């Protein structure tokens, strides 16, 4: 009998945080010890760096997330220089490429933009906070809808999802009206142009306080709260191995990256939520190697463009006053890229894509002042289509015991290919993107397919399945097949081809897994 169970959570992103919160709230006396390889960035652990008002501080927080190789910050953390790899270069702000080209780099020539964040809060400290829910075949076939809907609702509450964010924006409404004229008649009811749900808390001035792992942790990080006494978060602590006897895990071996000391931490349950590449890598390094581990890698290919909004068309649906209101709101946080954000969600059979349309008063790049669309008074939209990639065994990350990466883990090689049918779907989606652009204005950046890995939404490498038939890593409760007390979490669990931002879906999967684990632990304690 376990009287006061201890749960170890590997990774401090939104998914590990969801496990910590639900388990502590559900099981009296349960302790959660969370280990995070990266540093803490903000006073409130796991807060979105987008909430940092000072641009220099924001930039430094991003640099601190880009692995021990990046920047000059590491001396201030006490991380030894020997942990650094020369030649590291970084990807999108707050992330670092898996294939950085230097010594100890992963190998991903067919997935060159594959990246990760290493910091308290994980990628969830840097994310755009778009939180659509999966629809039609994006959903998991073996979780019935009656169960799925409440899971998504609970995930939405954990992430502070706003379903009608920026709905009061006249500019946003005009963009929706123009898109509806172009596409509305072709789309099923309820799947036309709409506001994009986002995770954050609206502020009185119309801006947003964006959500990170901090809001998911909730009272666990509030000093003085009784739940906080049962939660520990150790930053700059790398989990090196999950210890086990082949059917039960006993704990983890961790390395304190400040002192380089290693120690064993016993646990009644281990939750690995260390992203879609480093979670399977940790399992592999621990000798836990289900046949599907690392395989079935998907992301949604992304085609993006930028359009200058056409004044005549916009004025059919929005007034000068509404434009002035929008610009006033933008001026409260001009560096925030998200405002008046709309979408056309995935629907079947005719629109198997997700369109995201983000309004901005300036283009995201320097536009030649002589360009006819420079200084466009009605502003611009950055638009992107997410398309499907069907899961295949041969797409995935493989690990090499004979070659170690910069952290001393079996090195990763990613193999990935878009098939002919996926190329055809991408071509169809690109055509729709052109239609959307022409409906709204003039392209200042033509639609272009981004390199593989650009979505930052990596799925399938620890996919869940209904049965242990070798095509999945975890059961419907997110437990690794064959292990009583090893749970995995994150986008890697998603077994379907999706086109949207996956964090809400992964949080819903984690909610299911956490409730099931809480029940098991409560039964054992009882």
- Assigned token pair, 157: 């509450």
Does residue number 294 form part of the binding site for ligand FAD (CB under 6 A)?
no
Stretch that binds ligand FAD, among 7-15, 75-83, 142-150, 368-376 (CB under 6 A): 7-15
| DSSP-derived pairing of the beta strands 269-272 and 486-488 | parallel
* Nearer Cβ to ligand FAD (98/323): 98
Active-site annotation holder among 96, 438, 457, 515: 457
Task: Check binding of 195 to ligand FAD (CB under 6 A).
Answer: no
Residue 319 C-beta: closest distance to ligand FAD, Å = 30
- How many CB atoms are located within 10 Å of the residue 382 CB? 18
Q: How far apart are CA 306 and CA 441, in angstroms?
A: 10
Q: For the sheet with 486-488, list strands across it.
A: 231-234, 31-35, 6-10, 269-272, 486-488
Query: Which of 5, 6, 11, 290 is close enough to bind ligand FAD by CB under 6 A?
Result: 11
Looking at the Cβ atoms of 95 and 485, the one nearer to ligand FAD is 95
Among 111, 127, 416, 481, binds ligand FAD (CB under 6 A): 127
286 lies in the binding site for ligand FAD (CB under 6 A): no
Work out the number of other CB atoms within 10 angstroms of the CB of residue 1: 5
Task: For the segment 497-516, give every residue that binds ligand FAD (CB under 6 A).
Answer: 501-503
Give the count of residues interacting with ligand FAD (CB under 6 A): 40
Q: Does 13 bind ligand FAD (CB under 6 A)?
A: yes
**CA atoms of 498 and 283, how far apart (whole Å):** 25
The answer, yes or no, to whether the previous bond of 311 is cis (omega within 30 of 0) is no
CB of 129 to ligand FAD, least distance (A): 5
Cα separation, 500 vs 504, in Å, equals: 10
CA distance 254 to 34: 11
Work out whether the CA dihedral 35, 39, 45, 48 comes out positive or negative: negative
Phi, psi of 397 (to 5 degrees): -110, 130
Helix 420-440, helix 170-183: angle, nearest 10: 120
Q: 3-state class of 299 per DSSP?
A: coil
Q: Using the rule CB under 6 A, is 282 a contact of ligand FAD? A: yes
Q: Which is nearer to ligand FAD, 282 or 387 (CB)?
A: 282
- The residue among 376 and 501 lying less far from ligand FAD, judged by its C-beta, is 501
Q: Which of 128, 306, 382, 459 binds ligand FAD (CB under 6 A)?
A: 128
What are the structure tokens assigned to 160, written together? Answer: 């502070």
Q: Is 38 in the site for ligand FAD (CB under 6 A)?
A: yes
**Token output for 53:** 């008002």
Q: Residue holding tokens 């940790």?
A: 282
Q: Is 126 known to be catalytic?
A: no
Token pair, residue 259, equals 């002192």
Helices and strands in the chain: count of H runs, count of E runs:
11, 21
Residue 255: strand pairing partners: 238, 262
Q: Does 154 sit near ligand FAD (CB under 6 A)?
A: no
Query: If binding is defined by CB under 6 A, does position 135 make contact with ligand FAD?
Result: no
Q: Residue 459: helix, strand or coil by DSSP?
A: strand
| Rounded least distance, CB 379 to ligand FAD, Å | 21
Count CB atoms within 10 A of the CB of residue 312. Answer: 8
124 binds ligand FAD (CB under 6 A): yes
- Binding to ligand FAD by residue 10, rule CB under 6 A? yes
Among 106, 112, 122, 441, indicate the residue that binds ligand FAD (CB under 6 A).
122
197 binds ligand FAD (CB under 6 A): no
The reply to whether 172 sits near ligand FAD by the rule CB under 6 A is no
- Nearest-angstrom CA–CA distance, 388 and 500: 9
Task: Return the range that interacts with ligand FAD (CB under 6 A); candidates 127-135, 136-144, 256-264, 411-419.
Answer: 127-135
What is the x/- site pattern for ligand FAD, positions 66-95, by CB under 6 A? Answer: --------------------------x-xx
Kindly list the catalytic residues: 457
User: By the criterion CB under 6 A, which residues form the site for ligand FAD?
Assistant: 10-16, 35-38, 92, 94-95, 117-119, 122-124, 126-131, 238-239, 273-275, 278, 282, 456-457, 490-491, 501-503
């Amino acid at each position: 009998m376990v009287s006061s169970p201890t749960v170890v959570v590997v990774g401090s992103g939104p998914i590990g945080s969801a496990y910590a919160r639900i388990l502590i709230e559900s099981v009296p006396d349960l302790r959660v010890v969370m280990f995070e390889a990266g540093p803490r960035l903000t006073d409130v652990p796991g807060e979105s760096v987008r909430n940092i008002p000072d641009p220099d501080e924001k930039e430094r927080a991003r640099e601190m997330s880009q692995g021990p190789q990046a920047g000059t910050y590491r001396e201030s953390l006490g991380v030894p220089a020997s942990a650094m790899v020369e030649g590291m270069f970084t990807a999108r702000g707050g992330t670092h490429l898996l294939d950085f080209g230097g010594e100890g780099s992963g190998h991903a020539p067919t997935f060159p933009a594959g990246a990760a964040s290493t910091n308290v809060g994980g990628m969830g400290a840097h994310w755009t906070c778009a939180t659509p829910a999966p629809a039609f075949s994006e959903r998991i076939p073996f979780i019935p809808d009656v169960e799925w809907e409440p899971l998504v609702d609970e995930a939405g509450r954990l992430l502070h999802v706003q379903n009608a964010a920026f709905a009061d924006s006249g500019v946003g409404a005009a963009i929706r009206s123009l898109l509806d004229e172009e596409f509305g008649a072709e789309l099923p009811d309820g799947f036309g142009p709409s506001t994009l749900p986002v995770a954050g808390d609206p502020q009185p001035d119309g801006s947003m306080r964006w959500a990170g792992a901090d809001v998911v942790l909730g009272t666990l990080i509030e000093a003085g709260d009784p739940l906080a006494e049962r939660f520990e978060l150790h930053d700059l602590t790398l989990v090196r191995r999950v210890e086990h006897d082949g059917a039960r895990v006993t704990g983890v071996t961790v390395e304190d990256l400040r002192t380089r000391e290693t120690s064993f931490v016993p646990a009644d349950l281990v939750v690995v939520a260390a992203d879609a590449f480093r979670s399977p890598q940790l399992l592999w390094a621990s000798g836990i190697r289900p046949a599907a581990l690392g395989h079935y890698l998907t992301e949604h290919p992304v085609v993006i463009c930028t359009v200058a909004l056409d004044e005549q068309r916009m004025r059919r649906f929005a007034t000068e006053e509404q434009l002035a209101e929008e610009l006033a709101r933008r001026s409260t946080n001009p560096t925030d890229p998200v405002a008046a954000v709309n979408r056309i969600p995935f629907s079947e059979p005719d629109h198997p894509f997700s369109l995201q349309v983000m309004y901005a008063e300036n283009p995201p790049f320097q536009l030649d002042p002589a360009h006819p669309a420079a200084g466009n008074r009605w502003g611009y939209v950055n638009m992107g289509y997410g398309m499907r990639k069907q899961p295949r065994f041969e797409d995935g990350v493989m690990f090499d015991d004979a070659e170690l990466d910069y952290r001393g883990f079996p090195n990763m090689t990613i193999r990935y290919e878009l098939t002919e049918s996926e190329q055809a779907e991408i071509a169809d989606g690109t055509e729709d993107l052109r239609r959307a652009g022409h409906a709204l204005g003039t392209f200042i950046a033509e639609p272009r397919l981004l390199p593989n890995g650009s979505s930052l939404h990596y799925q399938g490498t620890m996919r869940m399945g209904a049965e242990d038939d070798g095509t999945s890593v975890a059961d419907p409760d997110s437990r690794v097949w064959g292990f009583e007390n090893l749970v995995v979490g994150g986008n890697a669990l998603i077994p379907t081809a999706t086109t949207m931002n996956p964090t809400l879906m992964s949080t819903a999967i984690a909610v299911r897994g956490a409730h099931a684990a809480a029940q098991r632990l409560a039964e054992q304690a009882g």
